[in-house]
Amino acid sequence: MAPDISKVQPKSVTENDLEHFRQEWRAEVELRKTLAQQPDDHSDQASNANNNTLREDDSTQTTISRLENVEHFFRRLSLSEQFNRETSEEREIPQQEVEYDNAGLPGLNQQNALSEKKEEIERDDVPRTALEYYVRAVADEREGNLNEAIKNYSKATTLDPDVEHIYRNHFNVEPRDSQLESQSLSTQNLVQLDSNSLLPPGRSTDEHGSASSTYTNMTLLLNSFHEDSLDYIPLKPNRKVHIAKLPNELIVAILKALIFEDVRGVTRCALVCKKFCLLSYENSVWRFLCEVAHRGWNLSLTASNLMLKNEVLNYNNNWRRMFIERPRIRYDGVYISRCAYPRAGSDENAWTQPIHVVIYHRFLRFYADGSCTSLLTTKEPKSVVYTLGPNFKSKQLMAGQWVLDVESHIVSIELRDLDLPNHTFYMTLELESTHRGKHNKLLLHEYTCVNNLTNSGDNVKMGRERPFFFSRVATYPVGW
């Protein structure tokens, strides 16, 4: 440890000595000025006096240099006292003997050692506590600097044997298995750091800012955005934007054509500029979409529009909100149910009895005209969805009609199988939403097979059946 230079006291230097040196120096300066102003006829006398002065210059220069060294030493003492007052709470430096030269100053080697140690301590990147050494060791280990990591681990455990326990409590790190020790610390743990954690000595929290002050500053900044008017400057002022000259009515007509083909395209269009964003919320655009998407296939166009006009009052006369929240069946994809059941294998060997897991899929595709198709197959969805259309033919394929009850979210389906002309299948499903989107799940409540000859029905066991989830297919038309 380096000695505390703030505790060092000079041996023979006092204020009286300093004042005596200053008086001698002033006297010598005045003597030089007086001799320089003597006439030429007294040059010999001046030369003799000058020779005497030169003989005394050696001692005077020695005195001046000694005076400068003493003043420099006292200046260092004052700076060292201020530095030690700032860092006294962080560390304690033991007293050591310091060797002095003839001038009462520390030796040259001691001065160099003290200067180097002080510069090292004043650097911000040098750890000072056991926790800082441990944090540095963890960072070195993750970067692959194993030698530095071992040194820092050793220094940390030397300063505090319980530094690992302190580290885990400080960062809220749970003990992990050996397989997970190489994983990095999650950002959630780093966010929980205290505002005073790992600050360099002599610096307060106010210099870096606390979480509350940061939140306050951010709030003030956001509030200032509402007060200031933002002026946007075009990236290329000389480049003309022809679409900016179009009237709003024409842009709304373009959005209607776009939303009819792709609803998501309107959302992407709203990200272009503020004007497009405002026009994308135009009520007439979403009314046009609702009249097409929510039209009852068993009603005329006039009756369907009148029904929707009365129903939009339940959504505060907001057609966009009605399109999002009102239950509807999607036509740009297929609803898929993945089912599985175990089946015992052949028992040729008495020692083993294999069990097979049979996986099959149910597909439901709806059309805007009220028709639908259902397919039961063991094939993977990627080999079926692109060919499942109105003209698709396969075994276990059934076609029928569907009806949606908006109030109860119940979808009723009537299906017929060409291979079983005397049987009719009825499915009752409930339309639900998931975290992935609105109305993209069909929960099967009842599945019945009715014999048309005897009017008797049998319910299919629901133990193996699973819900249907919507999957969008890019090649499917919207089908409004």
CATH number at residue 456: 2.40.128
Do residues 164 and 141 share a domain?
yes
Residues 6+ positions from 160 with CB-CB distance below 8 Å: 130, 131, 166
In this structure, is residue 308 part of a structural domain? yes
User: pLDDT-derived band of residue 412, with 50, 70 and 90 as boundaries?
Assistant: very high
Dihedral-angle region of residue 471 (phi above 0 means left; psi in -120 to 50 means alpha; beta otherwise): beta
Q: Which of 46-55, 89-98, 335-344, 368-377 has the lowest mean pLDDT?
A: 89-98
Do residues 343 and 468 share a domain?
yes
CA distances from 58 to 101, 110, 326, 342, 384 (A): 20, 28, 104, 110, 107
The residues that bridge with 414 in the sheet, in sequence order, are 401, 426
In this structure, is residue 215 part of a structural domain? no
Q: What pLDDT, on a 0 to 100 scale, did the predictor assign at position 470?
A: 93
In this structure, is residue 81 part of a structural domain? yes
Cα of first residue to Cα of last residue in the chain, in angstroms, is 83
Residues 480 and 467: their CA atoms lie apart, in Å, by 25
Do residues 446 and 394 share a domain?
yes
| Cβ–Cβ under 8 Å, residues 91 and 128 | yes
Residue 303's CATH number: 1.20.1280
pLDDT tens digit sequence for 177-186: 444 444 443 4
Do residues 139 and 267 share a domain?
no
Q: What pLDDT, on a 0 to 100 scale, did the predictor assign at position 418?
A: 83
Q: What pLDDT, on a 0 to 100 scale, did the predictor assign at position 199?
A: 42
**Domain finish residue from 122, 143, 167:** 122
Residues 385 and 476: their CA atoms lie apart, in Å, by 9
Q: What pLDDT, on a 0 to 100 scale, did the predictor assign at position 436?
A: 85
Q: What is the pLDDT averaged over residues 4-11?
A: 47
Residue 277 lies in domain: 243-325
Residues 6+ positions from 63 with CB-CB distance below 8 Å: 21, 24, 25
Q: What is the pLDDT averaged over residues 29-54?
A: 59
Do residues 460 and 344 share a domain?
yes
Do residues 104 and 139 share a domain?
no
Do residues 337 and 462 share a domain?
yes
In this structure, is residue 229 part of a structural domain? no
Q: Which of 195-204, 248-257, 279-288 has the lowest mean pLDDT?
A: 195-204
Query: Percent of the chain scored above 70 by pLDDT?
Result: 65
User: pLDDT-derived band of residue 78, with 50, 70 and 90 as boundaries?
Assistant: low
Do residues 342 and 435 share a domain?
yes
In this structure, is residue 171 part of a structural domain? yes
Q: Which of 280, 306, 277 is nearest to 291 (CA)?
A: 306
Do residues 344 and 458 share a domain?
yes
Do residues 185 and 305 share a domain?
no
- Which helix (H) or strand (E) covers residue 60, if one does? helix 43-87
Do residues 192 and 296 share a domain?
no
User: pLDDT-derived band of residue 168, with 50, 70 and 90 as boundaries?
Assistant: confident
pLDDT tens digit sequence for 134-158: 888 888 888 888 888 888 888 888 8
Q: Which of 176-190, 307-321, 418-432, 458-472 has the lowest mean pLDDT?
A: 176-190
Q: What pLDDT, on a 0 to 100 scale, did the predictor assign at position 150?
A: 87
Does position 68 have pLDDT exceeding 60, yes or no? no
**Domain finish residue from 272, 292, 325:** 325
In this structure, is residue 61 part of a structural domain? yes
Does position 4 have pLDDT exceeding 60, yes or no? no
- What does pTM read for this prediction? 0.50
**Domain finish residue from 271, 290, 325:** 325
Do residues 168 and 277 share a domain?
no
User: pLDDT-derived band of residue 334, with 50, 70 and 90 as boundaries?
Assistant: very high
Residues 334 and 469: their CA atoms lie apart, in Å, by 8
User: pLDDT-derived band of residue 365, with 50, 70 and 90 as boundaries?
Assistant: very high
Q: Which of 47-56, 124-133, 284-293, 325-334 has the lowest mean pLDDT?
A: 47-56
Q: How many domains does the chain have?
A: 4
Residues 142 and 176: their CA atoms lie apart, in Å, by 16
For residue 134, report the phi and psi dihedrals to the nearest 5 degrees.
-70, -40
Residues 315 and 475: their CA atoms lie apart, in Å, by 33
Does position 187 have pLDDT exceeding 50, yes or no? no
Q: What is the pLDDT averaged over residues 445-461?
A: 85
In this structure, is residue 182 part of a structural domain? yes
In this structure, is residue 221 part of a structural domain? no
User: pLDDT-derived band of residue 469, with 50, 70 and 90 as boundaries?
Assistant: very high
Q: What is the pLDDT averaged over residues 45-69?
A: 52
